[in-house]
Amino acid sequence: MPYAHITGWGMFVPEPVLTNDDIAKMVDTNDEWIRDRTGIRQRHIARENEFPSTLAVEASIKALQVANLAPTELDLIICASSSPEYIFPATACLIQDQIGATKAGAFDLSAACSGFIYATNMAAQAIRSGSIKNALVIGTETLSRFVNWKDRNTCILFGDGAGAFVIQASERPGGILSAVMHSDGSGADSLTLLGGGARYPATEASVHEGKHFIQMDGKEVFRFATRVMGRATQESLELAGLTTNDVQWIVPHQANYRIIETAAKYLKMPLDKYIINVDRYGNTSTASIPIATVEALEKGQIKSGDKVVFVGFGAGLTWGAMTVEWTGPIPAKRHVYPKRYRLFARLRSLLLRAVRLIEGFLSRREL
Ligand code: UT7
């Protein structure tokens, strides 16, 4: 059975930064309250011409570069997002087209902030089954589009960004060792975005009632998160035959510093084993774990051979954890330049659209 390794990683955040002081100009809040209660100092906000797919493409190309893998070699793309570009088509298909992943299947996965762990686990299982060799997993968000900037309970929390992993088959032991995924739909009401789906399609009334904004019972989500984070970490470690003593790093979902602190206490682990960057990005939902991982790798914190646990929770309710033995890129002689495929992808996409147009025109004439 092949092993599934994380061989490439990339992140991208939009440039504009929104500080706590900026938010204090919009709602009745202040920098001190936000820092004390959440640990957040600032977040990045997408420009008008930036979308989940465009952020994801930047992160994905970087991940492919690290993995030294051409987009044309990808078999599967899974995009996890809490703020997908559309209900359909899948954001994953837009990414597939823009990076030129000519032979990849592509789909979106909806498990809110736990989505990246779920998606990585799905890709790892497909690899271990032998049915695919190379997968791209993405978490990407422009949650700022769904935030009610008049609601101080939620608007202080969220930020935009994307992170991506390349997952590849290898005979070398290690890589993704175990994962657990959980859900509890009885808690569905505590974190929602109701508008635009089949129950509340967009109408004047639905927009007027603010159904297209994130609604949250913060206290309820906080209690749930502190209950499940430590337990899920332990479960995943047990499945991998490891204990907390074997772990070098925990990369938690970056929602609130206090939630991370409580999880660390539960596991009796020092906080300096936790990768924390919620102060600079806020909660980027599915993107938070890969963004934190990429930063930790770039700082030289996570190294080859380290045991790393990813742990997350989110709307649904969903939660999960994954244990990884970090290995890194698979050594290769030839060098590929995934960036160059972007131009090829653009031309290919234009050509396919033109062919579709001509085919449509000709078939109308034949009728
Ligand atoms: O990916 C999952 C996404 N969601 C989460 O992870 C959210 C988890 N929950 C949380 O992070 C926290 O519950 C919050 C940060 C949302 C809120 O922190 P809290 O310590 O639970 O505050 P609270 O809701 O109990 O509010 C305490 C007080 C209230 O005032 P009173 O009733 O005590 O007078 C609020 O009205 O703080 C007030 N408050 C604020 N004050 C200033 C609530 N939001 C704000 C604010 N600025 N932004």
- Ligand 1 atom at minimal distance to the Cα of residue 153: 44
Partners of residue 319 on adjacent β-strands: 182, 313
| C-beta 256 within 6 A of ligand 1 | yes
Answer yes or no: are the C-beta atoms of 62 and 164 closer than 8 Å.
yes
Ligand 1 centroid distance, CA of 218 (Å) = 6
93 given a catalytic annotation: no
Ligand 1 centroid distance, CA of 162 (Å) = 26
Question: What distance in Å separates the CA atoms of residue 19 and residue 282, rounded to the nearest whole number?
Answer: 10
- Position 333 scores a pLDDT of 76
Mean pLDDT of 43-59: 98
Q: How confident is the model at residue 1 (pLDDT cuts 50, 70, 90)?
A: confident
Question: What distance in Å separates the CA atoms of residue 136 and residue 140, rounded to the nearest whole number?
Answer: 13
Question: What distance in Å separates the CA atoms of residue 23 and residue 149, rounded to the nearest whole number?
Answer: 8
How far is the CA of 25 from the CAs of 19, 30, 74, 272, in angstroms? 10, 9, 46, 34
| C-beta 111 within 6 A of ligand 1 | no
Ligand 1 centroid distance, CA of 222 (Å) = 9
- Position 33 scores a pLDDT of 98
- Position 332 scores a pLDDT of 81
Mean pLDDT of 298-319: 97
Answer yes or no: are the C-beta atoms of 125 and 321 closer than 8 Å.
no
Ligand 1 centroid distance, CA of 294 (Å) = 29
- Position 367 scores a pLDDT of 65
Catalytic site residue from 68, 113, 134, 256? 113
Question: What distance in Å separates the CA atoms of residue 315 and residue 82, rounded to the nearest whole number?
Answer: 9
Residue 322: its H or E element = strand 318-325
Residue nearest to atom 18 of ligand 1 (CA): 37
Mean pLDDT of 143-171: 97
Tens of pLDDT, residues 329-351: 888 878 999 988 999 999 999 99
| C-beta 221 within 6 A of ligand 1 | yes
Question: What distance in Å separates the CA atoms of residue 93 and residue 202, rounded to the nearest whole number?
Answer: 24
Ligand 1 centroid distance, CA of 213 (Å) = 17
Answer yes or no: are the C-beta atoms of 291 and 160 closer than 8 Å.
no
Residue 342: its H or E element = helix 341-366
Tens of pLDDT, residues 99-127: 999 999 999 999 999 999 999 999 999 99
Q: How confident is the model at residue 328 (pLDDT cuts 50, 70, 90)?
A: confident
Residue nearest to atom 23 of ligand 1 (CA): 219
Average pLDDT score over the chain: 96
Ligand 1 centroid distance, CA of 156 (Å) = 9
| C-beta 169 within 6 A of ligand 1 | no
Ligand 1 centroid distance, CA of 152 (Å) = 8
Residue 143 reports pLDDT greater than 80 = yes
Within 8 A by CB and 6+ apart from 50, the residues are 14, 142, 160
Question: What distance in Å separates the CA atoms of residue 13 and residue 238, rounded to the nearest whole number?
Answer: 34
Catalytic site residue from 68, 121, 134, 253? 253
| C-beta 224 within 6 A of ligand 1 | no
Tens of pLDDT, residues 224-234: 999 999 999 99
What is the pTM assigned to this prediction? 0.96
Residue 31 reports pLDDT greater than 90 = yes
Question: What distance in Å separates the CA atoms of residue 167 and residue 85, rounded to the nearest whole number?
Answer: 24
Residue 366 reports pLDDT greater than 80 = no
Residue nearest to atom 20 of ligand 1 (CA): 37
| C-beta 37 within 6 A of ligand 1 | yes
- Position 185 scores a pLDDT of 98
Residue 257 reports pLDDT greater than 80 = yes
Answer yes or no: are the C-beta atoms of 314 and 285 closer than 8 Å.
yes
| C-beta 128 within 6 A of ligand 1 | no
- Ligand 1 atom at minimal distance to the Cα of residue 158: 3
- Position 350 scores a pLDDT of 96
- Which of 116, 158, 222, 288 for mutating ligand 1's site (highest number of atoms within 8 Å of CB)? 222
Domains of the chain: residue spans and CATH = 3-325 (3.40.47.10)
The encoded tokens of residue 317 equal 């309710």
Instruction: State percent of the chain over pLDDT 70.
Output: 100
- Position 334 scores a pLDDT of 85
Residue 166 has φ and ψ, to the nearest 5°, of -100, 130
Peptide bond preceding 317 in cis form (omega within 30 of 0): yes
Q: Which of 63, 96, 65 is nearest to 79 (CA)?
A: 96
283 given a catalytic annotation: yes
Q: How confident is the model at residue 184 (pLDDT cuts 50, 70, 90)?
A: very high
- Position 19 scores a pLDDT of 98
Angle at the Cα of 295 from the Cα atoms of 43 and 81, rounded to 5 degrees: 55
